[in-house]
Amino acid sequence: MSEFDTLIAAARAARENAYAPYSNFRVGAALRASSGRIFGGCNVENASYGLTVCAERVALFKAISEGERGFDAIAVVTDAEKLTPPCGACRQLIWEFCGDVPVVLANLQGGVEVHPMRELFPRPFDSSNF
């Protein structure tokens, strides 16, 4: 059993609530706080695509709104054959709030990869830039 199995299961469960009538691309994410609490999120689409919110951001915003400030891992689950990393906007927010955490990519077929955030988001823009 992997240290990330519970996180992957939470992301899979969150994916079930995805609202994706336009893309049919359902995504679930689960963010583990340093406290041990896990926050799930799913993508929520909108007919005005710019208003769509990714699963990773939903999970992060839920955790922040509940007072969490330290995080130690995030998992992203899709049904795509190719494991799907967070989009650019999510990478920026994950770096800002979570730093160089492990990012667990998984799919419903059992594929799993773990990448440090620095690998997915090299040379990030953060407070060290100003």
Which domains are present in the chain?
5-129 (3.40.140.10)
Mean predicted confidence (pLDDT) in 51-69: 98
Number of H helices, E strands in the chain: 4, 5
Which three-class secondary structure state does DSSP give residue 123?
A: coil
**Is the separation of the CB atoms in 57 and 92 below 8 Å?**
no
pLDDT band at 51 (very low <50, low <70, confident <90, very high): very high
Q: How far apart are CA 119 and CA 96, in angstroms?
A: 15
pLDDT band at 79 (very low <50, low <70, confident <90, very high): very high
Mean of per-residue pLDDT scores for the chain: 97
Ramachandran region of residue 92, left (φ > 0), alpha (ψ -120 to 50) or beta?
alpha
- Residues identified as active-site: 56
Read off the pTM. Answer: 0.96
Of the CA atoms within 13 Å of residue 37, those in its CB half-sphere come to 12
